[in-house]
A and B are shown apart, each in its own frame.
Chain A
Amino acid sequence: MGTQIFDIANIDIAWCPGCGNFPILKILKQAVAELGIEPTNLVMVSGIGQAAKIPHYFRTNVFNGLHGRALPAATAIKAANPALTVISESGDGDMYGEGGNHFLHTIRRNPDITNIVHNNMVYGLTKGQASPTSQKGFKTPVQVNGVFLEPFNPLAVAIALDASFVARCFAGDVEQTKEIIKKAIKHKGYALVDIFQPCLSFNKLNTYQWFKEHTYYLKDHDPFDRQQAFEKATQTDKLPLGIFYISQQKPTFEENIGTYQEKRTPLYKREPDMQKLSNLIDKFKILI
């Protein structure tokens, strides 16, 4: 399958020239095309922010909801129809800041969705304030003396919660990022893919060059070793890329809720059993 099937003609893309979102859009189209996922069977769920506009440049089903609220919606979409492939995609501010509580509990819930986070360590759409992942000392129009908050560490948090699949990549490396995203989509259960992405307009610190110099790919790493994964996730002098952690055989949310144990029929094709309801109502007659 070619990627053209996911292209929308004549669109006005709102990203700045050279934005790290462009390679991610291209990578994502390639990944789903190579996996043979039909546009009609895919749902891209996003929140608000520059990254969260990505579904509008992607010919597929789209749920572009509220800032920070992509994950609850994505969870429910998958639960209502498990036959759909669901990708929840937003930026670091959306997913780790505004939606932080949903991030924690979606990991615990473990729906079979892919959570892609464009992590540029800055707020782009609101013009350059600190994000939860901004580095200490990063100066902005609001953090005028530099960020002094401890940067949020999404990978360490996810591994601490025994997330089903945890990976990090770099938007500057198309091939490896694509392979990781494909694995994340194929993985059964919640999969976090945090993507380092430069923001040319508002983050002059974490540039393409900076990411190249401060990252490396994990080698001889056992993703099933949680302790080792956690150790790698907390490393900050040089930031590792790759698949950090895969939790063994975790049941998904859709499996745990029991709704699909007997039949796989999505909710929209189901009708309530009125005879059962009638029997239930009869119980309120209180007869011994």
Chain B
Amino acid sequence: MRNDLSIVLCGRAGQGIQTVEYLLTRIFKLAGYNVFATKEYMSRIRGGTNSTEIRISSGPVRASVSRIDILIPLNQGAVQHVEKRISPQTIILAEKESIGDDFDQSKHKFIDVPFTKTASEIGNKIYSNVVAVGTIAGLFGIGLQTVSEYVKKFFSAKSDDVVQKNLAAAKEGFNFGADLIDSAKIKYDIHNDTNIKDQILLSGTEAVALGAIAGGCNFISSYPMSPSTGVLAFLARQAKDFGIIAEQAEDEIAAMNMAIGAWYAGARAMVTTSGGGFALMTEGLSLTGMLESPIVIHLAQRPGPATGLPTRTEQADLELALYSGHGEFPRIVLTPGKIEDAFYLTQKAFNLADRYQVPVFILTDQYFVDSYYNTACLDLSDINIEKHIIKTGVDYKRYKLTANGISPRGIPGFGEGLVVVDSDEHDEAGHITEDLDLRTEMVDKRLKKLELLKDETIPPELVGPEDYKNLVVCWGSTYNILREAVKKLSRDDTAFLHFKQVYPLPNETSNYLQKAQRTIIVENNATSQFAKLIKLHTGIDIKDKILKYSGLSFYVEELTERLNDLLN
């Protein structure tokens, strides 16, 4: 019997699928189950077909699978939308009337559940999504009281009538689910775990935003752009409690220049954006290079070029992050793999940006920011907010030439000195200059910081046997997918190496790669951008590539199969 179920809900935008995902992930967490959820959706507010995947397991689950154990299609075309993922073992819980005539139920394990009919009897078919929530909860024998309490909490801002009807919907659904288990139509063997109670359920977006607060972020200026907006919205909600200025700028150019101005005056600022928006910020990025201004940039990737696929995922903006901005200046690119990494790395990003006066990227993607799972509670005990601002003296010079290239950073209004910064090449005092010898010194000074950054990289994480023959290399959001895929391979000669810092490339990289007889790169892009970076900096050419650029992340099975094909 399965100890890991993949449940997929599929329907039109506007049918409340997000509510189902929200309620079920939280109810499962509340009941002590390991839970993972992710979604794929169309770039529209109503209609289309969207799906959400929820995995429930006895052990931790943290990646998307192709397999669907239970499918709940809520509209016509929903089954077809996920057709490639359905097998003869997939149980389809649906109402014949809502999914249309094209669907041949004799070919599937079909169980008729009157979601809409029940909802209509309660008062409105709008409640059918909560009937579905109840049904899934009933399947797992989660106490009806737990479900009811959470549903009640979720709808607490609505009228009493709406709350009561949602409760009735949940209860009816719960009975359907319980019947399916009693009649043994659905079987599984998944246990809950009391330890999960102390864990937290977190999405990539939330981890980045909480990390920013922990990093002392008190200023965010951005322009809405999927899939990055969640961080701006989260910090705007917390603005009052944490004294954060959260401003929606007129465009990304303004957003970036505001953030730079904020750092200049002593704030700790960030921007959140996606590829197209970041393209507009690159002029400002170059300004941070010249001003030696700290900045934290959350760049949540989606497929391009141009508008691309606005609600989909890709890892194709690594080179954009690496090479954007005219001129030569150092930078740091961090690429969280685990959701909890996003918290710690974003926190650290503020300290790194401040210490070295450089831009620091947090490079995520749609799959990463929109996925959730339960994980150990974030540990604040080692969190330090390092401020690198000095009180200026009368003779203060913002760009004093120093041995390591870092000039102590003053801010206006703190001390007796004056703080002069200029986008032109400048002298030590910050004033415009065309002294070409001084220009050379200033370039050298800025680039010296890159040498310091190279000495403080975050090492990659090796997962699997130390005496590997095959090494699979990845970065960013593919971590958990690869982890599960490599485990499924169950080969004692294969490990994987995940980079949560890709630039400057960690010094350990060459050693890890040279030890392998065979190396394979896994990237969610078409041109293996990270493999190119590795070749540039180590000379090592990773010849075997597993790439995907359809707009979806890898599924565990797909990655397992492609790795198997290469290794066997």
Contact = CB atoms under 8 A, between A and B. Distances in A.
B239 A76 contact: no
Interface string B385-426: 101010000000000000000000001111111111111100
A41 to B, nearest CB: 6
Nearest to A65: B423
A281 B412 contact: no
A274 interface: yes
A73 B261 contact: yes
Contacts of B258: 72-73, 75-76
Contacts of B153: 288
A101 B393 CA distance: 38
Contacts of B149: 288
B420 A276 contact: no
B432 A53 contact: yes
Interface in B169-213: 197-202, 206, 210, 213
B424 A63 contact: no
A257 to B, nearest CB: 5
A66 B253 CA distance: 10
B243 A73 contact: no
Contacts of B26: 286
Contacts of A36: none
A97 B415 CA distance: 36
Contacts of A59: 418
A268 B412 CA distance: 11
Interface in B217-269: 218-219, 221, 238-245, 247, 249-251, 253-255, 257-262, 264-269
A60 B417 CA distance: 9
Interface of A is mostly: helix
Given A39-B418, A83-B413, A284-B202, A56 B284 contact: no
A64 B421 contact: yes
A74 B261 contact: yes
Nearest to B411: A268
B213 A272 contact: yes
B420 A61 contact: yes
A219 interface: no
Q: How large is the interface on A (under 10, 10 to 19, 20 to 34, 35 or more residues)?
A: 35 or more
Given A75-B258, A267-B218, A288 B245 contact: no
Contacts of B269: 76
B419 A61 contact: yes
B254 A280 contact: no
A78 to B, nearest CB: 8
B265 A80 contact: yes
Given A59-B418, A64-B424, A267 B213 contact: no
Nearest to B28: A286
Given A73-B258, A101-B251, A274-B383, A62 B242 contact: no
Candidate in B199, B200, B201, B239 with the most chain A CB atoms within 10 angstroms: B200
Interface in B81-118: none
A45 interface: yes
B413 A285 contact: no
B428 interface: no
B266 A66 contact: no
Contact of B284 (A66, A268, A272, A280): A66
A98 B254 CA distance: 12
A258 interface: yes
A271 B385 contact: yes
Interface in A37-86: 39-41, 43, 45, 48, 53, 55-56, 59-66, 69, 71-81, 83-84
A74 to B, nearest CB: 7
Candidate in A72, A257, A270 with the most chain B CB atoms within 10 angstroms: A72
Interface string A257-288: 11100000011111111101110111011111
A102 interface: yes
28 contacts: A40-B417, A55-B420, A61-B420, A62-B420, A64-B420, A65-B423, A66-B257, A69-B284, A76-B257, A76-B269, A77-B264, A77-B265, A80-B266, A257-B239, A259-B243, A266-B266, A268-B267, A268-B389, A272-B242, A273-B241, A280-B210, A280-B238, A281-B210, A282-B200, A284-B201, A285-B199, A286-B29, A287-B197
Interface of A: 39-41, 43, 45, 48, 53, 55-56, 59-66, 69, 71-81, 83-84, 101-102, 104-105, 257-259, 266-274, 276-278, 280-282, 284-288
Interface of B: 26, 29-30, 146, 149-150, 153, 197-202, 206, 210, 213-214, 216, 218-219, 221, 238-245, 247, 249-251, 253-255, 257-262, 264-269, 283-284, 287, 291, 377-378, 380, 383, 385, 387, 389, 411-424, 430-432
